[in-house]
Amino acid sequence: MNHPIRKRALELGFDFCGFATAAAPETAGFFQEWLIEGGYGEMTYLPRSASKRIDPQKVLPGCKSVIAMAASYAKTGLVPPDPVQLLAASDVNPRTAAGGFIARYARFADYHVVLGQALELLCDWVNQWGGNGTRSIWYVDTGPVLEREFAQRAGLGFIGKHTNVISRRLGNWIFLAEILTTLELEPDQPGKNRCGSCTRCLDACPTRAIVAPFRLDARRCLSYLTIELKGTIPAELRPAIGNRIFGCDDCLAVCPWNRFAQTGRLMQNHARRDLDAPVLTELLALDETGFRARFGGTPLQRLKRRRLLRNVAVALGNIGGPSALPALSNTANDPDPLIAEHARWAINRIICNMEMLP
């Protein structure tokens, strides 16, 4: 049905818009069990906001519907006919790429800002269209909402075995956003799981962080380790990082549904080509001012300099050779102990690899 809200969302650049009831999430029990197990690692905001995440009424009293949106960040030319080939392509394979690897979603201006601007306009429009008394609130990724379940309930697609949402029409290169509203909207048909017997995402995970279908241990996930973890990266997991400096796309890249991925209308004009494969040794030379100039306005800014250089040092330890040692030696003297320790680890790893050469 070409509902006015759906029409307006598409006009603003979203690639999907669907409706779900604001009933409590059916996955609430699963979520609480995952929290008890500690699978969230250091992301303490998750248990802190758990009561809101399992009850939309605590987020917006009187909420009756959730408007779920998706914006694709796929790029034309990056999706070959066989998705398995993606892991052999330098664009997504951290083990063969020459430069540092940044997750595909982060090679744009900050999606919180880009989507947020469109969402704010849509949210205001919804309130005006709904009339007196209509209240709505919008989120992009950061709200206390189990957004993947609402996206599935709104017909966007289904939650895959890698725990991300998969759209039959857009693949899984998608951002999610939602508006909680007091309007009562006719819900769309929920998406049905179509993973079947496929286990490509589980098989592709470098650290086996997908411990079972639909279950992720974030503490082993390379996206968590390079983005969310604020302290020391466990030494035993550092080799698996390869040349990743922000995120990991392996489980997403192998999904067969990416055959249908489409270039995102909302994001395509915000691509940052300088983030495709940055030179690692150049990144080590960044001071605070240089970091802000290079990565301000992108998702990488949340790392701040210390975590980025921590990641860069590990990446160089994995793929670097003798030419990386001077830059790493300078970094080993960084006043920040987190950066210095990871640089020393990288130096030792490169030297050990050199000694093993015939």
Share of the chain above pLDDT 70, in %: 92
What integer is the mean pLDDT of 31-42? 93
pLDDT of residue 1: 61
List active site positions: 141
Beta bridge partners of 175: 71
- Which tokens belong to 79? 């999706």
Tell me whether residue 159 is in a domain. Answer: yes
147-156: average pLDDT: 97
Span 228-277, pLDDT tens digits? 999 999 999 999 999 999 999 999 999 999 998 988 889 989 999 999 99
pLDDT in tens, 322-349: 999 999 999 999 999 999 999 999 999 9
Phi and psi, residue 111, nearest 5°: -65, -25
3-state secondary structure of 20: strand
Q: What is the DSSP string of 220-241?
A: G-HHIIIII--SPPPGGGGGGG
**Alpha helix stretches (DSSP H) within 93-162:** 111-130, 147-153
Write out pLDDT tens, residues 22-33. Answer: 999 999 999 999
CB atoms within 10 A of CB 234: 12
| Res 86 pLDDT > 50 | no
Say how far apart CA 90 and CA 3 lie, in whole Å. 42
- Whether residue 4 has pLDDT greater than 60: yes
- Does the pLDDT value for residue 357 go beyond 90? no
**pLDDT tier for residue 98 given thresholds of 50, 70 and 90:** low
The whole-number pLDDT of residue 88 equals 43
Residue with tokens 């394979």: 93
**Which contiguous run of DSSP H or E holds residue 201?**
helix 200-204
The count of structural domains within the chain is 1
| Rg (the chain; Cα; Å) | 21
Mean per-residue pLDDT, 283-295:
96
Residue 83: predicted pLDDT: 41
In a domain, 9, yes or no: yes
What value does the mean pLDDT take over residues 189-202? 97
**Cβ contacts of 335 within 8 Å, gap of 6 or more:** none
Amino acid letter for position 231: G
**Domain interval for residue 161:** 1-74+109-192+260-269
In this structure, is residue 350 part of a structural domain? no
Residue 161 resides in a domain: yes
Note the pLDDT of residue 76.
58
Q: What one-character DSSP code corresponds to residue 183? A: S
Asked whether residue 157 is assigned to any structural domain, the reply reads yes
The confidence score (pLDDT) of residue 215 equals 96
Burial class from Cβ neighbours inside 10 Å (0-12, 13-18, 19+) for residue 8 reads middle
Predicted confidence band of residue 79 (pLDDT cuts 50, 70, 90): very low
- Per-residue pLDDT at 80 exceeds 70: no
Beta-strand relationship, 244-246 and 101-102: parallel
Residue 227 lies in a domain: no
pLDDT at 142: 87
- The mean pLDDT of the chain is 92
- Mean pLDDT of all residues in 120-146: 96
CB 179 within 8 A of CB 223: no
**Is 65 a domain residue?**
yes
**pLDDT surpasses 50 at 93:** no
Tell me the C-alpha to C-alpha distance, in Å, between residue 118 and each of 11, 30, 115, 145, 302. 10, 32, 5, 19, 22
End-to-end alpha carbon distance in the chain: 68
Distance CA 287, CA 349 (A): 25
pLDDT value of residue 126: 98
pLDDT tier, 2 (very low <50, low <70, confident <90, very high otherwise): confident
Mean pLDDT of 163-180: 96
Does residue 140 lie in a domain region?
A: yes
* pLDDT tens digits for range 43-66: 999 999 999 999 999 999 999 999
